[in-house]
A and B are shown apart, each in its own frame.
Chain A
Amino acid sequence: MERAGSMIDCDVHVQITDVEQILQFVEPAERDWFRNASFTLGLPDYPWPNPSTWFRTDLAVDETGVPGGNPQTVAKEVLDDQGAEIGILTADDALSVGLMANPYRAATVARAHNDWFREIWFPADDRFRGSIIVPSQDPVAAVAEIERCAADPRFVQVLLSGGSERPYGDPRYLPILEAAAAHGLAVAVHSGMEGMGAAHQASGAGTPTFYIEWHTIGSACSIMAHLVSLIAHGTFKRVPDLKVLLIEGGVAWLPGMMWRLDTNWRGLRDDTPWVDRLPSEIMQESIRFATQPLEHTNGNDELLMQMLAAVGAPDILCYASDYPHWDGDEPGYFERRLPESWRQGVMHDNAVKFYGNRLNLPVAK
């Protein structure tokens, strides 16, 4: 269903349906290594397969049976059919590039994936914007990749995975965050890849057994950890221009987490004395949250919105569809769940403010 007003879709997962799409941007000497890998491009794989399908089943598919792999089809399904003014392309399997055991191969994948966006996806529709993926296990190489890509105005952010070796406030990641901010790029952290490759386990209690456990706990907990870590390390004080978008970790927990963090900060501030403002204030100033999946509330939407309002939701939420995944939020239905006064901000304006000039909106005709 198309939304009546314009909107920005902050999470469009394009799919690698054939590794040769990526390998065309890889040196010939490296290609066989990636072809021979047991999973796509040697990327870490999930130990928890989705029991049915990762994808919506109402979308066009190519000969591989996967949606989201054809630029013209994605433009039609996301931009035309759903009415997005801008679709921000995120990675899918390649989100885990920063967790590969081999940082050199990771740098190769990141570089090729970014070139794939630049050479294949961006030219297909001028409403596409994209994410720079980086070998975050090697911050020097990650910064070099950001420097290489930043001049292309169609890239709007650096994308990191929820699964990580340490939460992103850790100083090892600071050069990556600084490089992004220096170029006006946001940093997006997309949940997923917890427990994969070099990442720590999903959940704080060991390896989950089922996909439902990972999808409920793993993807939310990593986002919570990055949120708290970035604030505790004083990252936004060190990098005042840094903007962070947290994607697909849910939001219903956010009020409780911020209240908990604010409370703990009052009593534990000696450990992090550089945090000189309420964590919730820092969050509202520098961090945004992609909305999908907005938790279903068993009839308690009004209560959810009251809770979210307490942490500034009308100004910090940015719509995301999660196309073409099975649990995406259809924009028309999603928008109707929001209080009317929030809708323009959440569906459009908040993302415009967040990405700023990098969004390079089309000039109105």
Chain B
Amino acid sequence: MSEWHDIAAESDVVEGTPTIARIGGREIGVLRDPRTNGLVAIRNRCPHSGAKLCLGTLEQRIEGEAGGHYELVDRTVVVCPWHGWEFDATSGQCPEDASMRVAVYPVKVEAGRVLVQA
């Protein structure tokens, strides 16, 4: 049964720096989404080759319809620091590979504290 875990003070979770916690033997990182200013809790292990995923970046997804067309879309992805693979910050799914998904966790703020359900 998953429980809510107190990870950090909300004011300590800042853009560009992951807050890492160990819960039940797993490393989970909480990151600040620079696009929405919201929080993302995601397992700190890339399912591709095991890199510490939370050392990567949160970025707005780029898509395009045809050659030469680039568009920022309403989607944040976690970009792995090693090979640049992207994972949807909401679902954990790699859009480019159906077999690659990283665990993401519910996260909320109560009384100035960041809580993660895991």
Contacts and interface: CB of A to CB of B under 8 A. Distances in A.
Interface centre among A234, A270, A278 (most CB of B within 10 A): A270
Contact of A267 (B62, B66, B71, B85): B85
B67 A238 contact: yes
Given A265-B96, A266-B97, A273 B62 contact: yes
B84 A237 contact: no
B35 to A, nearest CB: 15
Give the interface SS of chain B, mostly helix, strand, loop or mixed: loop
Interface of B: 48, 62-71, 80, 83-86, 94, 96-97
A233 B69 CA distance: 11
A272 B65 CA distance: 10
Contacts of B86: 266, 269
A273 B67 contact: no
B62 A266 contact: no
A266 B85 contact: yes
A171 B68 CA distance: 10
Contact of B66 (A237, A265, A268, A278): A237
A238 B66 CA distance: 6
Contacts of B66: 234, 237-238, 274
A235 B86 CA distance: 24
B67 A234 contact: yes
Interface residues on A, range: 10 to 19
Contacts of B65: 237, 274
Given A237-B65, A266-B83, A267-B84, 19 more contacts: A234-B66, A237-B66, A238-B66, A238-B67, A263-B83, A266-B94, A266-B96, A267-B83, A269-B96, A270-B62, A272-B64, A273-B62, A273-B63, A273-B69, A273-B71, A274-B63, A274-B64, A274-B65, A278-B96
Interface of A: 169, 171, 233-235, 237-238, 263, 265-270, 272-274, 276, 278
A171 B96 contact: no
Nearest to B48: A266
A269 B69 CA distance: 13
Contacts of A272: 64, 67
A185 B66 CA distance: 22
In the complex, the 9 A-B pairs of residues with the closest C-beta atoms, listed nearest first: A267-B84, A273-B64, A274-B64, A267-B83, A266-B96, A233-B67, A273-B63, A234-B67, A270-B62
A119 B12 CA distance: 81
Contacts of B64: 234, 272-274
Contacts of A169: 67
Given A266-B83, A269-B86, A274 B96 contact: no
A226 to B, nearest CB: 15
Contact of A171 (B62, B63, B67): B67
A235 B66 CA distance: 8
A237 B86 CA distance: 22
B31 to A, nearest CB: 19
Contacts of B67: 169, 171, 233-235, 238, 272, 274
6 contacts: A171-B67, A234-B64, A235-B67, A266-B96, A274-B65, A278-B96
Contact of A273 (B70, B80, B85): B70
B71 to A, nearest CB: 8
Contacts of B69: 273-274
A176 to B, nearest CB: 15
Contacts of A233: 67
A266 B83 CA distance: 8
Contacts of B62: 270, 273
Contacts of B85: 266-267
Nearest to B71: A273
Contacts of B70: 273
Contacts of B63: 273-274, 276
Contacts of A171: 67-68
Nearest to B100: A266
Contacts of A274: 63-67, 69
B114 to A, nearest CB: 30
